[in-house]
A and B are shown apart, each in its own frame.
Chain A
Amino acid sequence: MDQVSLPEPRRDTRLDRYLDLYAQRTKGLKASAVRSLFAVANRPEVVSLAGGMPNIGGLPLDMVADAAGDLIRQRGPEVLQYGGAQGEPRLREQICQVMALEGVQAEPDDVVVSCGSQQALDLITRTFIEPGDVVLAEAPSYVGALNTFQSYQAQVVHVAMDQDGLQPEALRQAALGCRAAGRRVKFCYTIPNFNNPTGLTQSLERRRQILEVAAEVDLLLIEDNPYGLLTLDHEPWPALRAFDHERVVYLGSFSKTFAPGLRVGWAVAPHPIKDKLVLAQEAATLCPPVFSQHVVSAYLSEWDWRGQVDRFRQEYRARRAAMLQGLEDHMPEGTTWTKPGGGFFVWVTLPEGLDSQSLLATAVTNRVAYVPGTGFYADGLGSRNMRLSYCFPPPQQIYEGTRRLGEVLAEAIDLAQTFGLMAAPGQPERSDRSDQPDQSDQTEISVQPDRPAQPVHPEQLERFTHPAAPAPSDGAEPASPTGPTPGAPPEPTPLSIRSE
């Protein structure tokens, strides 16, 4: 055998020569086994119920191509040039018209265009958040927002939801509790329409109550509304911003109603905030993409875009029906799910004893993918939940995906029962949908995870102390300890609620 030659000096390395240069806030950026599985989920063999990609196959691509070509040919030096940081004036006028459909009265000068509403959220967070500041967010909440908050070292305190969305009393207690503990609460982030990931929508009465609480405790609301026009069962409801111009920053997007690849979204904010956002936009990008803005503007002015949104709704209705039927046909006993009135997502709660993170590997092996629920909590909850998207695959694939998922769950239940992690057959301790009384087309659902989000108490804030828990990205692992905090109030019974 050859002998090894041992080099001198010994190489001592962490394989990242820049390690000492990174900012503290990057410490949470880590590889994730769960996230790595999405590399497989994107393969065509896999029915992906994971991603939130809109189905834009029905767009008038010839019209868009002609509009883009005409813009370059006829106005190239203008539309390929830098623009203003606030966004193109004509588009801001049109954005006001779009928002009017949800009752928002705004002037073009109230609007700041951004690279998707995601960037608007980033600008808002960088404008308001210093390390350690508290952001209140629905439980569960959009993973991209949690990532943004984490990247600025905010502490996310979750606020419980029920069938009507964010709970006003929980919001009040969270805000007051944080302040009593000496924390600075900068804003509350909410998705009133078809919440990502639950699909739930705030009722009109609930919106009023939330605004009352916000006024009472002097709280700024960030209203993220990418799905508001994609309502499937009724006309769009008034936005929070429609009722309060001073306490609500509204985020909108063309990513779901037109084309996400153009990256055009916006914020509407009270003027002092708007002015800060414009300056922040200048610092971040100089200006949002000018050509994309002009393409969107042309689309809005030259195409029956409202008719196009109606056609999207038709497609999403068929997809939603396929998913809900598939879940009804294939989910095992004890599984519950939301019944969204619009948007893209269904939130599934698994029987106790199953873990959606550890099941993902088996699911991918069985050629179906979803997003584990833990990604939508900053505090590690959600292990019994999964987010299913019905927006992208065609209906028959969605149905097939639920069938495969049903097989995965059946096998997992068998395994968990074998190891005593679930009640054995004949010992049901879970709700059985077939045993429920007829609810006239309403499905028994639960938005609560394995442990309900609590109104925050001062003692609980200890678990949000520095360093900021690394928020997960889509499908990522939980970031912080999940155990109850000593001194925390007893946990109430998980809510069982009904869909719209």
Chain B
Amino acid sequence: MSHPIVVLAGGLSHEREVSLLSGRRVAHALRAGGHEVVEADVQAGLIDQLTALDQPVVLPVLHGGAGEDGALREVFELIGLPYVGSPAAACRLTFDKALATPVVARAGLAVPERVVLPHDMFRELGAGAIVELIGRRLGLPLFVKPSASGSSLGCQKVDDLKDLPAAMVGAYSYGRVAVVERFVSGVEVAVAVVDTDSGPKAYPPVEIRPDSGVYDYESRYTAGATHFLAPADLPPEVIQRCVEAALTAHQALSLRDISRTDLIVDPAGVPFFLEGNVAPGMTETSTVPLAIEAAGESFGQVLADLVARARARVQAN
């Protein structure tokens, strides 16, 4: 008798809809492979629901909030449930761009020059002075994003310093800390990394070319609005740098099972780290399933292998 795989999707974060889309695709892929799948949402009865199942493995595809900041994974560990994905501490580190970026920079990756500012700082010191300092230090254009959010929510490119205050307010709609980066123009690339018995394995870097020029929410989740190339249309040595950057980020951030690293490759062929993802999107328009399939592998089988690894981890303990 097979033991169920609990695909946990939804939650209460701003990315609930994306998570539900991811969950549906993951559940479908696993069922197509003959696995017993239970689809669950984060709600008051979740713990009872999980503990009532016969030796389940949880596969969280929760984006944002408790799904990515490690909180729910702490709960799985409290219960003693095997789950797919990075441990709680690694999630906490990776989900917060303000914390993760210095870690990968120390590991040798190029990162955009940036400042990290809670909104209280603007109130206490005066926004005008700080905005001017940012402009002087980082120049233009800038990219503003919430420190802990996903799906490009609250993100905005700023070409004129007078637009920075509104962009900051937009980022603070999604959290109390915002990151302002020097905008790096170049080729946008996402690299999936999956742990295997022989170590972390990178999939072909996927080049992202949104029709609108900006890989925002609309470009991410409207089928057809973005042109993807897998592998990216880059020289082999640049591809190799992207792969190495993703593997480095995966290891430097102590990520486990599966991750996605987002990069911008500048005109000199240098990949800049933008962010790591502990719960990468698995929707019909997401890059991780695309990369896996472009490599000639079955998305469902890769997921099933990760479930088996999670189950084996608990049994080994």
Contacts and interface: CB of A to CB of B under 8 A. Distances in A.
Contacts of B218: 30-33, 477
B83 to A, nearest CB: 23
A416 B165 CA distance: 8
Contacts of B290: 11, 13, 15
Interface string A94-118: 0000000000000000000000000
B16 A6 contact: no
Given A420-B127, A420-B165, A39 B17 contact: yes
A4 interface: yes
A414 B14 contact: no
Given A19-B223, A364-B14, A418-B127, A33 B217 contact: yes
A11 B230 contact: yes
A359 interface: yes
Interface in A17-49: 19, 22, 29-33, 36-40, 43, 45
Given A39-B20, A40-B12, A418 B203 contact: no
Interface in B102-137: 119, 122-123, 127-128
Contact of A6 (B154, B168, B204, B244): B204
A37 B14 contact: yes
Contacts of B220: 31
B169 A36 contact: no
A358 B170 contact: yes
A426 interface: no
Most buried by B among A16, A31, A358, A416: A31
Nearest to B248: A1
B170 A2 contact: no
B215 interface: no
Contacts of A19: 223-224
A361 interface: yes
A4 B173 contact: no
Contacts of A12: 227-229
A362 B222 CA distance: 24
A11 B221 CA distance: 19
A7 interface: yes
B279 interface: no
Contacts, number: 143
B223 A15 contact: yes
A418 B12 contact: no
Interface string B182-206: 0000000000000010111111110
Interface size grouping (class) on chain A? 35 or more
Interface in B39-56: none
Given A31-B217, A361-B154, A419-B122, A36 B17 contact: yes
Given A1-B200, A7-B296, A36-B217, A14 B224 contact: yes
Contact of B153 (A10, A22, A33): A33
B202 A11 contact: no
A13 B17 CA distance: 24
B7 interface: no
A248 B58 CA distance: 59
A36 B18 contact: yes
B285 interface: yes
Contact of B165 (A1, A40, A414, A419): A419
A2 B247 CA distance: 9
A15 B284 contact: yes
A30 B200 contact: no
Contacts of A420: 127-128, 165
B261 interface: no
A293 to B, nearest CB: 34
Nearest to B15: A36
Contacts of A72: none
Contacts of A14: 223-228
Most buried by B among A33, A40, A421: A33
A129 B95 CA distance: 49
A2 B201 CA distance: 6
Contacts of B202: 2, 4
A415 interface: yes
Nearest to A34: B217
B153 A361 contact: yes
Contacts of B122: 418-419
A36 B205 CA distance: 28
Interface in B267-311: 284-285, 290, 293-296
A254 B223 CA distance: 36
A38 B18 CA distance: 12
A19 B18 CA distance: 21
Interface in B143-188: 151-154, 165-166, 168-170, 172-174
Nearest to B146: A361
A47 to B, nearest CB: 14
A412 B168 CA distance: 12
Contacts of B26: none
Contacts of B243: 3-4
B223 A415 contact: no
Given A362-B173, A420-B128, A421-B165, A6 B231 contact: yes
A81 interface: no
A415 B204 contact: no
Contacts of A361: 14, 153-154, 173-174
A440 interface: no
A495 B106 CA distance: 58
Given A19-B224, A39-B20, A32 B217 contact: yes
A11 to B, nearest CB: 4
A37 B15 CA distance: 7
B229 A10 contact: yes
B233 interface: yes
B143 to A, nearest CB: 17
Most buried by B among A11, A421, A477: A11
Contact of B173 (A6, A30, A38, A358): A358
Contacts of A10: 229-231, 233
B294 A40 contact: no
Interface of B: 12-18, 20, 119, 122-123, 127-128, 151-154, 165-166, 168-170, 172-174, 196, 198-205, 216-218, 220-231, 233, 236, 239-240, 243-244, 247, 284-285, 290, 293-296
12 contacts: A1-B200, A4-B201, A7-B294, A10-B230, A14-B225, A15-B223, A31-B221, A33-B217, A36-B14, A415-B119, A418-B123, A420-B128
Given A2-B202, A40-B16, A361-B154, 18 more contacts: A2-B196, A2-B247, A7-B204, A7-B295, A10-B231, A11-B228, A11-B290, A11-B294, A14-B228, A15-B285, A30-B218, A33-B151, A36-B16, A37-B17, A39-B16, A415-B169, A418-B119, A419-B122
Interface of A: 1-7, 10-16, 19, 22, 29-33, 36-40, 43, 45, 358-359, 361-362, 364-365, 412, 414-416, 418-421, 477
Top 5 nearest A-B pairs (CB, nearest first) are A31-B221, A419-B165, A16-B223, A39-B17, A33-B217
